[in-house]
């Protein structure tokens, strides 16, 4: 199944829209290759997402300059010996013509070119490469620090407004990539059985992604220590009674990320306690997905998720009190210590390098409350925003052993009951949801998550 293409006219249109909006010179830098231990041994290359979005260019070391008169692609000069080491490549002239730029210049000549420009009028942004940001700082006489001093506010705001709402080509990238992500999750479920190792499941998960010619969108979380939210280690054997949490997604050929979490018992059979907790998380997720509609405030979705989970916590006698009161105190966050989700697009946490301005509406700020402060988004939803919905339930010793939190919530937590649940691990269920004017579109709904589906699949490869 061939992947869908984004027409080159889409990139040309984006560049024109950006230039017309700013009506000023623009310089965007692509990422450069990073060495692993010695110069010729490179780490896997990934283009800067904003540069990719506007140019369609995935070549390392590229740059783009735009003005009201021309659009120039800067590319590293190709060496005659490149064909020996890397095979025949497109010429820089062909790349430039194919991508719709007026002309190309050697990347090595960018210094001399910028010396002819009024640099104080040039709009640009920082990238993840420290040396490139140093060069920008020296050339434009302004500080550029990725994730902190990001550059032109006008440029950033325009980028955010364009990238935050996905077009149909981008949505189709996510739909297609979700199919590969489905295959990977099912492969992992089928390969799971007691006595295996997390590495075995990681191999089963990653194989369909790599077979399709794709990369993962982020380092896959595959662990029986699911209470550790971003656990990147694969170190455990799978034992009877364990829950395995798999948070993993693929990246499309144009850089669009899927982000999906499933949790299942390694034996294929949920215990009664696991079933109750899983049912509560799934109920919270399904109710929250239904709320992903145009005009709905995302913070309210988080609150609805928290409400369902808090009802479960009270029913299990982990918390004492009324649901609304417990939520007002933030007690539920002891068991659900993160936000319900985030924007999704060219990055798995899309545009978070630009900070909270991306996903928090003007006048809104992060809560200072424990747990809720990690909510990554507080926007009113618009059609063709794509967000994740990922409620969870976790029994995390680091939280319950924290003396400050124990003191704050001492009166509402059943500590004996908490101790009885220790060792449970964690459950998270996550899907990628497209907002519309009508019913939400679950882009990853084909990935099994009901107790019946999961129980049937787990271990089926070895039975």
Give 158-174 pLDDT, tens digit per residue.
999 999 999 999 999 99
Which H or E run contains 237?
none
**Confidence (pLDDT) at 245:** 98
Reported in sequence order, the residue ranges of 83-175 that DSSP labels E, i.e. its strands, are 103-106
Where is the domain boundary, 130, 146, 163?
A: 163
Do 321 and 367 share a domain, yes or no? Answer: yes
Is residue 155 in some structural domain? yes
User: What CA dihedral angle connects 256, 260, 266 and 268, to 10 degrees?
Assistant: -120
Do 90 and 224 share a domain, yes or no? Answer: no
Is residue 1 in some structural domain? no
DSSP-derived pairing of the beta strands 103-106 and 71-75: parallel
Orientation of helix 153-163 relative to helix 8-22, angle to 10°: 140
DSSP-derived pairing of the beta strands 392-394 and 63-66: unpaired
Nearest to 395, CA basis, from 455, 318, 339? 318
Do 133 and 192 share a domain, yes or no? Answer: no
pLDDT per position as a tens digit, 391-410:
999 999 999 999 999 999 99
Do 100 and 117 share a domain, yes or no? Answer: yes
The residue ranges of the chain whose pLDDT is under 50 are none
**Confidence (pLDDT) at 462:** 61
Provide CB contacts within 8 A for 13, sequence distance 6+: none
CA distance 97 to 177: 28
Where is the domain boundary, 102, 130, 163?
A: 163
For the chain, the distance separating the N- and C-terminal CA atoms, rounded to the nearest angstrom, is 29
Nearest to 429, CA basis, from 246, 229, 287? 246
Is residue 462 in some structural domain? no
Where is the domain boundary, 163, 180, 203?
A: 163
CA distance 57 to 461: 41
CATH (domain of 32) = 3.40.350.10
Phi, psi for residue 64 in degrees, rounded to 5: -135, 130
Residue 11 corresponds to which tokens in the numbers above? 């990139």
Do 147 and 180 share a domain, yes or no? Answer: no
Is residue 256 in some structural domain? yes
Is residue 463 in some structural domain? no
Is residue 2 in some structural domain? no
CA distance 425 to 422: 8
The pTM for the full model equals: 0.96
Do 148 and 187 share a domain, yes or no? Answer: no
Compute CA distances 101 → 71, 97, 151, whole Å. 6, 6, 24
Do 277 and 364 share a domain, yes or no? Answer: yes
Asked if residues 388 and 341 have their Cβ atoms less than 8 Å apart, the reply is yes
DSSP state of 43: P
CATH (domain of 259) = 3.90.230.10
Is residue 320 in some structural domain? yes
**Confidence (pLDDT) at 84:** 66
Is residue 95 in some structural domain? yes
Nearest to 245, CA basis, from 260, 231, 263? 263
Domain range for 39 is: 8-163
Do 313 and 421 share a domain, yes or no? Answer: yes
Do 112 and 203 share a domain, yes or no? Answer: no
**Confidence (pLDDT) at 1:** 63
Per the structure, the count of domains in the chain is 2
Do 405 and 446 share a domain, yes or no? Answer: yes
Do 156 and 186 share a domain, yes or no? Answer: no
Q: Walk across the sheet containing 431-434 and list its strands.
A: 386-389, 431-434, 441-442
Do 115 and 252 share a domain, yes or no? Answer: no
Which H or E run contains 139?
helix 130-140
**Confidence (pLDDT) at 40:** 86
Coil vs helix vs strand at 392: strand
DSSP state of 45: P
């Amino acid at each position: 199944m061939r992947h869908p293409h984004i027409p080159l006219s889409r990139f040309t249109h984006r560049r024109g829209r950006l230039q017309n909006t700013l009506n000023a010179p623009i310089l965007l830098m692509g990422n450069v290759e990073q060495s692993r231990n010695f110069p010729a041994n490179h780490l896997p290359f990934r283009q800067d997402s904003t540069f990719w979005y506007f140019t369609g260019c995935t070549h390392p070391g590229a740059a783009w300059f735009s003005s009201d008169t021309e659009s120039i692609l800067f590319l590293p000069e190709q060496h005659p010996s490149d064909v020996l080491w890397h095979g025949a490549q497109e010429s820089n002239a062909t790349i430039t013509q194919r991508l719709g730029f007026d002309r190309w210049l050697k990347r090595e000549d960018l210094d001399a070119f910028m010396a002819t420009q009024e640099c104080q009028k040039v709009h640009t942004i920082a990238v993840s490469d420290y040396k490139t940001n140093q060069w920008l700082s020296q050339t434009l006489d302004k500080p550029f620090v990725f994730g902190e001093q990001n550059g032109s506010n006008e440029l950033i705001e325009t980028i955010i407004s364009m990238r935050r709402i996905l077009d149909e080509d981008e949505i189709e990238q996510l739909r297609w990539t979700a199919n590969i992500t489905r295959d990977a999750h099912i492969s992992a479920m089928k390969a799971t059985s007691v006595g295996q190792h997390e590495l075995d499941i990681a191999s089963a998960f990653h194989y369909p992604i790599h077979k399709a010619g794709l990369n993962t969108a982020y380092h896959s979380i595959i662990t029986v220590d699911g209470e550790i939210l971003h656990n990147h280690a694969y170190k455990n054997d799978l034992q009877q009674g364990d829950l395995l949490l798999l948070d993993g997604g693929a990246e499309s050929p144009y850089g669009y990320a899927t982000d999906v979490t499933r949790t299942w018992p390694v034996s294929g059979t949920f215990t009664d306690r696991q079933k109750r907790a899983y049912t509560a998380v799934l109920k919270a997720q399904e109710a929250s997905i239904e709320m992903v509609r145009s005009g709905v405030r995302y913070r309210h979705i988080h609150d609805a998720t928290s409400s369902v989970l808090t009802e479960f916590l009270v029913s299990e006698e982990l918390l004492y009190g009324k649901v609304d009161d417990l939520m007002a105190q933030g007690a539920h966050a002891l068991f659900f210590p993160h936000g319900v989700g985030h924007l999704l697009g060219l990055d798995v946490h899309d545009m978070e390098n630009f900070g909270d301005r991306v996903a928090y509406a003007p006048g809104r700020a992060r809560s200072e409350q424990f747990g809720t402060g990690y909510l990554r988004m507080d926007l009113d939803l618009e059609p063709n925003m794509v967000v994740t919905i990922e409620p969870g339930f976790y029994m995390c010793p680091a939280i319950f052993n924290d003396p400050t939190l124990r003191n704050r919530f001492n009166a509402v937590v059943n500590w004996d009951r908490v101790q009885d649940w220790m060792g449970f691990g964690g459950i998270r269920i996550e899907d990628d949801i497209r907002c519309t004017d009508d019913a939400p579109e679950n882009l990853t709904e084909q990935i099994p998550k009901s107790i019946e589906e999961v129980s049937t699949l787990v271990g089926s490869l070895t039975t």
